[in-house]
Structure 1
């Protein structure tokens, strides 16, 4: 018998209590009673890594917030999309900073529009000053990090299913994550900024 729950300290107290109550009836004396939630561990890994690109993330988030803050700006942004001949059904979405998966979805949507943001300054005189605008490096980091996060996002979705058992796939999914970390930690370039922790 095992219980898969996240890493909250209150859960450790519950597990200790259950081990005490069922001390004679647990498989392997309850050594593996508490199985840490793999999706929760992935969440902790990604949130820790997001700190390394925080400055770039803040500038991109502020640019998205600027466009979405007014219907007139959104219309101007759409005009710039047309002028740049970008064919995309998706539109800008703003993330919830404490939820990494929403940050991934924001980055996935916004990286397509780098040239649009560059063109926007020609139409909107109020558009952010040079220190606040995303730089070329910010966009490069966002593109690489989006690829990196996509692996974690897909693995988290597969491990968080509720209609069927996922414990038999955990090892395979962890291998996918490990290969992703290995790939990005050995690469060079702008991704060094968030992969140095893995080396």
Structure 2
């Protein structure tokens, strides 16, 4: 955090954001936040993919859907299947 940046900050506070006492131009800060969100989404991507594949499998045929409903009923799980 040098004097030039500090002077710029004082002149144009609305163009800066602070993350853990580090100051960034707003466009740089939003870019960093975007990377963080994308990284989190990549971590969940595998799980979401498995859930989608499971739903496709269950809805693949009337017999599979019926078997799934029977299983849900057997374990007494409250779920609404559309």
Q: TM-score, normalised by structure 2?
A: 0.47
Q: TM-score, normalised by structure 1?
A: 0.21
Q: Which structure has more strand as a fraction of its residues?
A: 2
Identify which of structures 1 and 2 has the higher relative contact order when contacts are C-alpha pairs closer than 8 Å and 6+ apart: 1
